[in-house]
Every structure is written in structure tokens, then in C-alpha cells.
């Protein structure tokens, strides 16, 4: 039995996709017979100037000592946990610090072009290159994340897909008259596109939104402004059991994030046998959604999104065909057995 440490940063009181990714990895490794600990350090975003301190705190984390406390393998996850040191370190990167990379020149970025910010970004990139270069194996949660790493750091990684938390319990159901969204209400998820699209639909389709976040109030105001407040139901926090029921009964899911890393929700939709409508710039979502086969891929334009929603509303047979094909694909490609075999290969 091998002793494995999974490392992950932890923002106090926040539990999202990255946190679930680490927790599920620990669970799967234990079920495979390994002794596993999840090691976290607090990560708090208070501005650009403390980014280097946050990163260096992980650089001081050393797991190289021998027994007692011997560690056979370190599996690092989200930035900056892969800066930890161990001779048998691998990384399964959920994402790097996106503000330093792809989000920098966008409205979602934080770093300016001031001299100090430029120098800090360069230092963080150098740290990434050094730490990731130490890994004996390097995986990412998607091809999209791997592409970013190659583009910005010149480092190759292998995409390795993790099943979503509820995958074993998700089930197909009737194709109802509502769309469903579950996730954090954050601007980068671009739920506003779906709400604007709803205002352009000809059908009587509605939208149920499960989740909370900083963009919640703005989204409610938008629904009122575009005249669909009576067709959007903001549910707030929803239990897992309710998520299963809501997903089983929805018509489809509309997922329009900005360059998503991976997106558990896409996989959840397909495990539930539901079609997905997404956009050409949605990132990792596009690794699973094939236009005309498992859903629709359109430009990030509310009118185009609305047209595809109306198509699904008017053709439940197409919904079932797309959803069944999506479910078949993810059940073949996305398994914990495949992931654990790859993650523990350096133990042999």
C-alpha cells in the first residue's frame, strides 16, 4: 500500500470545482487501496501584490523526509500547490493562475501593464515553469488547460478527465419545458448570455438556476430588464438530491462560459442524458459537445443561442438522441479507473 499526499489550496469558506476535484481524487485513491492525505494551505486573494507570497508558501512545503511520515507520491492539483517539493511529484492541474495567463488581457483579469505588475507576472510564470518541470508526470483536467500550459509556458501535459461528483447517481429523465443551470454565479460563467437568449426565444421554455455567487443580484436585475423575470427561477443553494431531480427533468442545459477549463456541469449533463447548447469560445466544454451530435455549438450571440433552444423545445426526439449519444461518450471516456491508473504509474 502506497502513501500518497494530494495537495490543494483552500480558499476559506469556498468549495467549488477545484475543491471537489481534489476531494474526489482522494476518495478514488483510497478506494483503490492507497493511504491518502489531503494537504491544504489557505489561499486568499487580496490583490496582485500578495500573489508571490501565496506561491512561495507552497514552495516551502517539503514532503521529502523519510519515515515516520514517509510519502511515496505527491499529486498536486490547482495552482499554486504544485510548487510543493517531492522527488516523486506529479501534477494534475485544474488550472494555473489564470489572471497571469489567458485572463490577463480580458475584462476578467486583474494585472495591469504597470512595470511592477509586469515584473510580478514574469516571476510567477518562471515559478510555474520551474515547479511544473520538476514533475515526473504532468496531467491537466482538459485539453484546453493543456493547451494553455503549452502556449504560455512551453510545457506539454496530458489531458486526464475526472468524472463529476454526482456521475454515478445522475440519470436520464423526461425532457421537460425548462433549461437548467447549476454552478457558481460568477461573471466568467456568462449566465447573462442564457438570460438574454431566453428573451429571444419563441417557445415557452423557462430557466431554473441553482447556485449562488457574486453575480446573482446582477443576473436577477438583467432578467427583469429583458422581460423574462417570470421565466427565470433563481433557486439559490440546492441539495444534491434536488440537483439530480432537476437535471433529470430538464429539457437541456445551456452552458456559455468564457474559455472554461473543463466544466463538471457539461459532464453532468451528459451523464444525465441531456443535450448541451454552448458557444464557440466556451473552452473545455467543446471537448465533449459536438455540434449536431450531442448538442449545439453556436457563436456567443443570444439570438443564435435562442434559435437552438427553440429547436430543442420543438423536437424532443432530437433531445433524446443528443443526450443518449453524450451519455454513451462520457461513460466510455471518463472513469476513475482510468484516472487512478495514470496518476499512480510512477509508483511502479
- Looking at residue 61, what is its pLDDT? 86
Give pTM, 2 decimals.
0.82
pLDDT digits (tens, 9 = 90+) for 211-237: 999 999 999 999 999 999 999 999 999
The answer on 189 and 154 residing in a single domain is: no
Residue 345 resides in a domain: no
Among candidate residues 197, 257, 188, the one with its CA nearest the CA of residue 222: 197
Point out the domain boundary residue: 96, 127, 160: 160
Give yes or no for a contact between 339 and 142, defined as CB atoms under 8 angstroms apart.
Answer: no
The answer on 208 and 152 residing in a single domain is: no
The answer on 265 and 123 residing in a single domain is: no
pLDDT digits (tens, 9 = 90+) for 8-50: 998 888 777 778 889 999 999 999 999 999 999 988 765 555 6
- Looking at residue 16, what is its pLDDT? 75
The whole-chain average pLDDT of the chain stands at 90
pLDDT digits (tens, 9 = 90+) for 246-280: 999 999 999 999 888 777 899 999 999 999 999 99
Domain containing 119 equals: 3-160
Residue 165 resides in a domain: no
Residue 310 resides in a domain: yes
Does residue 282 carry a pLDDT above 90?
yes
Sheet holding 89-93, edge to edge: 35-42, 3-10, 73-76, 89-93, 137-140, 158-159
Looking at residues 99-118, what average pLDDT do you find? 62
Residue 171 resides in a domain: no
Higher pLDDT, 208 or 113: 208
The answer on 185 and 156 residing in a single domain is: no
The answer on 76 and 9 residing in a single domain is: yes
Point out the domain boundary residue: 132, 160, 188: 160
Say which CATH number the domain at 284 has: 3.40.50.2000
Residue 270 resides in a domain: yes
Task: Extract the C-alpha cell encoding 187.
Answer: 461573471
Does residue 104 carry a pLDDT above 70?
no
The answer on 192 and 137 residing in a single domain is: no
- Looking at residue 164, what is its pLDDT? 87
The answer on 321 and 219 residing in a single domain is: yes
Buried b / exposed e across 269-285, counting CB within 10 Å, b at 16+? bbbbbbbbbbbeebbbb
Angstrom distance (rounded) from CA 145 to CA 66: 34
Looking at the structure of the chain, the number of domains it has is 2
Task: Extract the C-alpha cell encoding 269.
Answer: 449533463
Does residue 110 carry a pLDDT above 80?
no
pLDDT digits (tens, 9 = 90+) for 143-199: 988 988 898 889 999 999 989 888 999 999 999 999 999 998 999 899 999 999 999
The answer on 231 and 324 residing in a single domain is: yes
Among candidate residues 73, 64, 65, 68, the one with its CA nearest the CA of residue 2: 73
Amino acid at each position: 500500500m502506497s502513501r500518497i499526499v494530494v495537495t490543494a489550496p483552500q480558499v476559506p469558506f469556498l468549495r467549488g470545482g477545484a475543491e471537489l476535484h481534489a476531494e474526489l481524487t482522494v476518495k478514488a485513491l483510497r478506494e483503490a487501496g492507497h493511504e491518502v492525505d489531503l494537504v491544504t494551505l489557505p489561499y486568499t486573494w487580496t490583490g496582485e501584490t500578495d500573489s508571490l507570497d501565496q506561491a512561495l508558501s507552497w514552495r516551502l512545503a517539503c514532503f521529502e523526509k523519510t519515515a515516520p511520515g514517509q510519502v511515496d507520491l505527491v499529486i498536486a492539483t490547482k495552482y499554486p500547490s504544485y510548487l510543493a517539493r517531492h522527488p516523486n511529484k506529479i501534477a494534475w492541474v485544474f488550472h494555473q493562475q489564470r489572471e497571469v495567463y489567458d485572463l490577463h488581457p480580458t475584462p476578467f483579469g486583474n494585472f495591469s501593464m504597470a512595470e511592477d505588475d509586469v515584473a510580478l507576472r514574469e516571476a510567477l510564470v518562471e515559478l510555474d515553469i520551474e515547479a511544473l518541470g520538476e514533475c515526473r508526470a504532468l496531467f491537466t483536467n482538459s485539453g484546453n488547460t493543456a493547451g494553455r500550459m503549452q502556449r504560455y509556458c512551453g510545457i506539454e501535459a496530458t489531458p486526464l478527465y475526472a468524472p463529476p461528483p454526482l456521475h454515478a447517481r445522475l440519470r436520464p429523465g423526461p425532457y421537460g419545458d425548462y433549461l437548467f443551470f447549476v454552478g457558481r454565479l460568477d461573471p466568467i460563467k456568462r449566465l447573462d448570455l442564457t438570460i438574454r437568449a431566453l428573451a429571444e426565444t419563441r417557445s415557452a421554455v423557462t430557466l431554473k438556476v441553482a447556485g449562488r455567487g457574486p453575480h446573482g443580484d446582477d443576473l436577477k436585475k438583467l432578467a427583469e430588464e429583458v422581460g423574462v423575470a417570470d421565466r427565470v427561477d433563481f433557486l439559490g443553494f440546492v441539495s444534491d438530491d434536488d440537483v439530480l431531480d432537476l437535471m433529470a427533468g430538464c429539457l437541456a442545459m445551456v452552458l456559455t462560459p468564457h474559455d472554461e477549463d473543463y466544466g463538471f456541469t457539461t459532464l453532468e449533463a451528459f451523464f444525465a442524458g441531456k443535450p448541451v447548447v454552448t458557444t464557440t469560445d466556451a473552452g473545455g466544454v467543446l471537448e465533449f459537445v459536438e455540434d449536431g451530435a450531442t448538442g449545439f455549438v453556436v457563436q456567443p450571440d443570444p439570438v443564435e443561442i435562442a434559435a437552438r433552444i427553440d429547436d430543442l423545445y420543438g423536437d424532443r426526439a432530437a433531445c433524446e438522441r443528443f443526450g443518449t449519444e453524450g451519455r454513451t461518450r462520457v461513460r466510455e471516456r471518463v472513469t476513475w479507473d482510468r484516472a487512478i491508473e495514470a496518476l499512480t504509474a510512477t509508483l511502479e
